[in-house]
């Protein structure tokens, strides 16, 4: 199986060979660029050449690349916000690892005790819990507790509770990481005891109301394999503990601090419920906020443009209010399916996010287009890059997605280093999606086929079955399955099928001859063959680009007569369709 991950890290190693003295020189090195793009042949449906960030106004960038160039002396902070694609932290974890290996380690970023909230952890750590916890997430209808940046909260009144973390990939962490625990600051809050694996002493953290920050910080004495937390009541006033998440960062002001926060099923309406978001964001002060959310707002197939636009602009305003110096990058979803039906609104959403981004002076990343556009998820599936639901990706798929995001960022950064950033930079290629053509068939070169045969590529429509398509082209369902290695009777919208169709050789009629001299040979059913000469018809097979008007002109008849003769209710034709011509 193609392993684009290994190729990418081989390229990163090549990158490091150039980066011994100056990172900026290595990114702009032509040899690096050539090698970095070398893997593009693995998945030719990806639009590598267009993989850049976009902006309409240069002010949208907020000097982020100038700041990125100075990560040896200044920490560059990113906050990547999303849904289930983000909660698992597979592709965002890859972005984090890639950028930190290039620009330096600035910290792990936000983590959350997910087990206490009864949901799964991120990819690089596991959480465990004990005791009775209450919790809320931004996707729930009723939210009894406030939420912050992570979109989730845990709460308890039971001192016999606790939670912990076991880390899988922490070998590049700094030995003196700082940890922040975001909680409700109150004299009624229990103390928290922290145990670091390999270290004998316990750390006691207090959350009284004298603390004006939204967190309490401590320094980890060593790189932990596990972190365990338990509650301790030291005052009769203490009655509860409420936690909004934790953050781990390197002590020095340098490198990349890449935070990713996501909740399964979250949409734009979900993140707007996070009442503590602005307070915590104002303290974090990120250089870049990535809004990578919205698929759940139209996953049913219908998209409410006005509502989504309103919610997206509300969220942008919230970010700008809390962190006015942060650049905002808006991404969009890739093509996906629901119950075998293609969600065409994904393209509408990509155009909507682009419009909103430019209107609100933000950056845009057209991931929908880069990932292949409409029906591309079928190609991802054939390459084992997505799961059976054709919504979520496999490990290899998320790795590819992480690499594409990294590459887009570095491609744009390279432009900044080599040429300087233009006042605007737009990638106008939405219309190039191959499957978005008006016709759903393509006639191919038949030089290699047997005489009298033609090869057709057919793009399936909604709810079509193998038998329906087979009858449409005069072939058997068994042959159609054999040609396309199909096992079932259903096909997916947009699925590409190969059809081998016999070409019926029909002598063209002499339309200048007298009626009794015309010899019209029929190529239809036996029922039509039994018809009298007075009702005999010529059968014309519609070709790509044909219309009722051009066919009527060709055969010296009228559109009205063609529609009446063929019982047509509309002017729409499809290649391969048969028309009777009198």
pLDDT in tens, 356-395: 999 999 999 999 999 999 999 999 999 999 999 999 999 9
pLDDT at 3 over 90: no
Residues 6 or more apart whose CB falls under 8 angstroms from that of 148 comprise 182, 214, 244, 245, 274, 276, 277, 279, 280
pLDDT tier for residue 15 given thresholds of 50, 70 and 90 = very low
Beta bridge partners of 581: 538
109: alpha, beta or left? (left if phi > 0; alpha if psi -120 to 50): left
Please state, rounded to an integer, the average pLDDT across all residues of the chain.
Answer: 83
What confidence tens digit (pLDDT) does each residue in 121-143 have? 999 999 999 999 999 999 999 99
What confidence tens digit (pLDDT) does each residue in 266-297 have? 999 999 999 999 999 999 999 999 999 999 99
Residues 6 or more apart whose CB falls under 8 angstroms from that of 305 comprise 348, 352
CATH topology of domain 437-503: Membrane-bound Lytic Murein Transglycosylase D; Chain A (3.10.350)
Average pLDDT on 243-260 reads 97
pLDDT at 207 over 50: yes
Q: What span, in angstroms and rounded, lies between the C-alpha atoms of 500 and 479?
A: 9
pLDDT attached to residue 446: 40
pLDDT at 39 over 50: no
Q: Which of 20-29, 372-381, 533-542, 569-578 has the lowest mean pLDDT?
A: 20-29
Q: Find which of 12-26, 213-227, 453-467, 509-523 is predicted with most confidence, using mean pLDDT.
A: 213-227
Q: Which residues of 105-138 are buried (b: 16+ CB within 10 A; e: fewer)?
A: bbbbbbbbbbbbbebebbbbbbbbbeeebbbbbb
What confidence tens digit (pLDDT) does each residue in 56-73 have? 999 999 999 999 999 999
Q: What is the 3-state secondary structure (H, E, C) of 410-431?
A: HHHHHHHHHCCCCCCECCCCHH
pLDDT at 208 over 80: yes
Using CA atoms, how far residue 88 sits from 92, 279, 305, 395, in Å, is: 9, 25, 28, 10
Reported in sequence order, the residue ranges of 471-575 that DSSP labels E, i.e. its strands, are: 496-502, 538-541
pLDDT tier for residue 462 given thresholds of 50, 70 and 90 = low
CB 77 within 8 A of CB 108: no
pLDDT attached to residue 536: 54
Q: Which residues of 413-443 are buried (b: 16+ CB within 10 A; e: fewer)?
A: bbbbbeeebeeebebeebeebebeeeebbee
Place of tokens 């104002």: 282
pLDDT at 21 over 70: no
pLDDT attached to residue 389: 92
Angle at 406 between CA 308 and CA 68, to 5 degrees: 95
pLDDT at 500 over 70: yes
> Can you read off the two tokens belonging to residue 121?
């952890």
Of residues 23 and 558, which shows the higher confidence score? 558
Q: What span, in angstroms and rounded, lies between the C-alpha atoms of 549 and 559?
A: 6
Beta bridge partners of 454: 501
> Can you read off the two tokens belonging to residue 428?
């106008």
What confidence tens digit (pLDDT) does each residue in 311-359 have? 999 999 999 999 999 999 999 999 999 888 889 899 999 999 999 999 9
Reported in sequence order, the residue ranges of 429-469 that DSSP labels E, i.e. its strands, are: 441-443, 453-459
What confidence tens digit (pLDDT) does each residue in 385-434 have? 999 999 999 999 999 999 999 999 999 999 999 889 999 999 874 433 33
The pLDDT > 70 percentage for the chain reads 82
pLDDT attached to residue 452: 62
CB 428 within 8 A of CB 443: no
Average pLDDT on 179-193 reads 97
Place of tokens 């975001």: 182
pLDDT at 40 over 60: no
Domain ranges for the chain, please list them.
Answer: 39-103+262-429, 107-251, 437-503, 505-582
pLDDT at 487 over 70: yes
Reported in sequence order, the residue ranges of 106-225 that DSSP labels E, i.e. its strands, are: 109-111, 125-130, 134-137, 152-156, 162-167, 178-183, 191-196, 202-205, 215-219
pLDDT attached to residue 227: 97
pLDDT at 33 over 60: no
Q: 505-582 falls under which CATH superfamily?
A: LysM domain (3.10.350.10)
The torsion defined by the Cα of 64, 69, 74 and 80, in degrees rounded to 10, comes to 40
> Can you read off the two tokens belonging to residue 571?
């002017």
pLDDT at 465 over 60: yes
pLDDT attached to residue 450: 52
- CATH class of the region 107-251: mainly beta
pLDDT tier for residue 515 given thresholds of 50, 70 and 90 = very low
pLDDT at 244 over 80: yes
CB 52 within 8 A of CB 411: yes
CATH topology of domain 39-103+262-429: Rossmann fold (3.40.50)
pLDDT attached to residue 413: 94
pLDDT attached to residue 147: 98
pLDDT attached to residue 451: 54
Start-to-end CA span in the chain (Å) = 56
Q: Residue 304: how many CB atoms within 10 A of its CB?
A: 12
Which secondary-structure segment (H or E) carries 158? Answer: none
CB 270 within 8 A of CB 317: no
140 exposed, middle or buried (CB, 10 Å; 0-12, 13-18, 19+)?
A: middle
pLDDT at 526 over 70: no
The reply to whether domains 39-103+262-429 and 505-582 share a CATH topology is no
Place of tokens 């503990």: 241
pLDDT at 171 over 60: yes
pLDDT tier for residue 435 given thresholds of 50, 70 and 90 = very low
Average pLDDT on 299-320 reads 94
Q: Which residues of 464-495 are buried (b: 16+ CB within 10 A; e: fewer)?
A: bebeebbebbebebeebbeebeeeeeebbbbb
């Amino acid at each position: 199986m193609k392993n684009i991950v290994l190729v990418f890290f081989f390229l990163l190693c090549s990158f490091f060979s150039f980066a011994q003295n100056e990172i900026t020189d290595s990114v702009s090195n032509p040899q690096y660029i050539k090698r970095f793009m070398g893997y593009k042949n693995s998945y030719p449906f990806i639009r590598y050449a267009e993989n850049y960030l976009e902006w309409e106004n240069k002010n949208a960038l907020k000097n982020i690349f100038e700041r990125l160039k100075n990560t040896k002396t200044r920490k560059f902070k990113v906050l990547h916000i999303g849904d289930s694609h983000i909660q698992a932290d597979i592709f965002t974890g890859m972005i984090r690892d890639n950028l930190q290996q290039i620009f330096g380690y600035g910290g792990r970023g936000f983590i959350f005790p997910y087990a206490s909230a009864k949901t799964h952890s991120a990819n690089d750590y596991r959480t465990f819990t004990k005791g009775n916890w209450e919790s809320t997430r931004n996707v729930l209808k009723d939210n009894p507790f406030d939420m912050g940046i992570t979109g989730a909260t845990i709460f308890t009144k039971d001192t016999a509770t606790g939670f912990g973390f076991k880390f899988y990939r922490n070998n590049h962490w700094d030995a003196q990481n700082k940890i922040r625990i975001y909680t409700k600051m109150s004299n009624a809050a229990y103390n928290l005891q922290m145990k670091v694996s390999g270290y004998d002493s316990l750390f006691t953290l207090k959350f009284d109301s004298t603390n004006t920050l939204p967190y309490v910080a401590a320094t980890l004495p060593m790189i932990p394999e596990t972190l365990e937390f338990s509650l301790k009541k030291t005052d009769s006033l203490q009655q509860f503990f409420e936690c909004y998440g934790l953050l781990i960062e390197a002590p020095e002001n340098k490198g990349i601090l890449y935070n990713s926060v996501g909740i399964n099923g979250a949409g734009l309406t979900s993140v707007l419920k996070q009442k503590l978001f602005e307070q915590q964001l104002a303290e974090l002060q990120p250089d870049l906020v990535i809004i990578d959310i919205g698929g759940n707002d139209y996953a049913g197939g219908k998209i409410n443009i006005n509502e989504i636009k309103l919610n997206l602009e509300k969220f942008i305003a919230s970010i700008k209010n809390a962190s006015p110096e942060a650049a905002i990058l808006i991404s969009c979803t890739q093509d996906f399916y629901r119950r075998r039906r293609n969600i065409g609104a994904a393209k509408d959403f990509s155009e909507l996010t682009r419009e909103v981004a430019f209107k609100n002076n933000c950056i845009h990343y057209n991931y929908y287009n880069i990932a292949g556009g409409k029906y591309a998820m079928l190609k991802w599936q054939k390459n084992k890059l997505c799961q059976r639901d054709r919504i979520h990706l496999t490990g290899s798929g998320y790795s590819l997605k992480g690499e594409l995001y990294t590459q887009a960022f570095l491609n744009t950064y390279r432009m900044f280093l080599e040429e300087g950033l233009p006042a605007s930079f737009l990638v106008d290629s939405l219309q190039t999606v191959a499957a978005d053509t008006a016709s759903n068939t393509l006639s191919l070169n038949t030089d290699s086929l047997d005489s009298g045969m033609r090869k057709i590529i057919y793009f399936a429509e909604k709810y079509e079955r193998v038998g329906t398509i087979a009858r449409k082209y005069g072939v058997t369902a068994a042959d159609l399955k054999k040609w396309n290695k199909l096992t079932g009777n259903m096909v997916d919208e947009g699925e590409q099928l190969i059809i081998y169709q016999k070409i019926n050789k029909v002598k063209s009629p002499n339309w200048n001859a007298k009626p009794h001299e015309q010899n019209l040979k029929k190529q239809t059913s036996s029922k039509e063959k039994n018809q009298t000469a007075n009702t005999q018809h010529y059968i014309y097979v519609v070709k790509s680009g044909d219309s009722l008007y051009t066919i009527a002109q060709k055969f010296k008849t009228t559109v009205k007569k063609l529609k009446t003769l063929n019982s047509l209710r509309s002017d729409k034709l499809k290649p391969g369709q048969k028309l009777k011509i009198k």
